[in-house]
Structure 1
Amino acid sequence: MLTDYQRKVLRILYNYKGIRRVFPTLHELTIKTGKEKPDVMEALDVLISERYIQWDDKSDTANIIILEGWERECEKPQIPKALERSNDWRYWTDY
């Protein structure tokens, strides 16, 4: 399961590529995430190891290939049974 930050980096890569047709540079990723370069690189390494992206030539982010743009369904946190029955969680997910 990805952390919030790793999921954020994946979504930035996916959306940025979809809109601008190029991947953001490492500097742009640090600006968009608010984190430093080592944190961004660590998140990218996790995305590589979890097979969300492929990045063989790490000289440039233009060489990234997105394998999966969304977190896998089986890895998403499940809603506890008590909340599932009460509908209290709907406020946070539907509005």
Structure 2
Amino acid sequence: MLDDSERKIHRILHNYSVGRRRFPSMHELMIKTGRAERDITQTLINLEDKLFIIWDDKRRVESIKLLQGMEQLPKSEPIKPNGNLDYWTNY
């Protein structure tokens, strides 16, 4: 499970790769997240440890490769109606 900063940076990386066909620079990540470079670097290392990204060249954020497009969330049980709600929705 990703914490808030990891999820935010992962979402930014995903959106940039889809919308702009590139990854953001460190400066762009600093602007988008409001965090310092060392915090972003640590978060990217955490994402790499959790196998969400591959980051071979640690000097360049643009060298990141996404392994998972979205966080894998556990599936929830469907909500079962109580009482006579199904009568009004199905008939």
TM-score range, shorter chain: 0.7 to 0.9
Partner residue in 1 for 2:49? 49
Question: Given the two structures, how large is their TM-score scaled by the length of structure 2?
Answer: 0.77
Partner residue in 1 for 2:70? 70
Q: 1:60 Cα shift?
A: 1.4
Runs of 4+ aligned structure 1 residues displaced above 4 Å come to none
Matched, 1:32 2:26: no
Instruction: State the AA in 2 paired with 1:36.
Output: A
Matched, 1:58 2:58: yes
Q: 1:59 Cα shift?
A: 2.4
Superposed CA RMSD? 1.8
Give the Cα separation in 1 of the matches to 2:30 and 2:64: 16
Question: Given the two structures, how large is their TM-score scaled by the length of structure 1?
Answer: 0.74
Q: What secondary structure, in the 3-state scheme, does the structure 2 residue paired with 1:73 have?
A: coil
Q: What secondary structure, in the 3-state scheme, does the structure 2 residue paired with 1:23 have?
A: coil
- Structure with bigger gyration radius: 2
Unmatched runs of 5 consecutive residues or more in structure 2:
81-91
Matched, 1:18 2:4: no
Give the Cα separation in 2 of the matches to 1:55 and 1:6: 15
Instruction: State the AA in 1 paired with 2:55.
Output: W
Give the Cα separation in 1 of the matches to 2:59 and 2:34: 22
> Which segment drifts farther, 56-65 or 45-54?
56-65
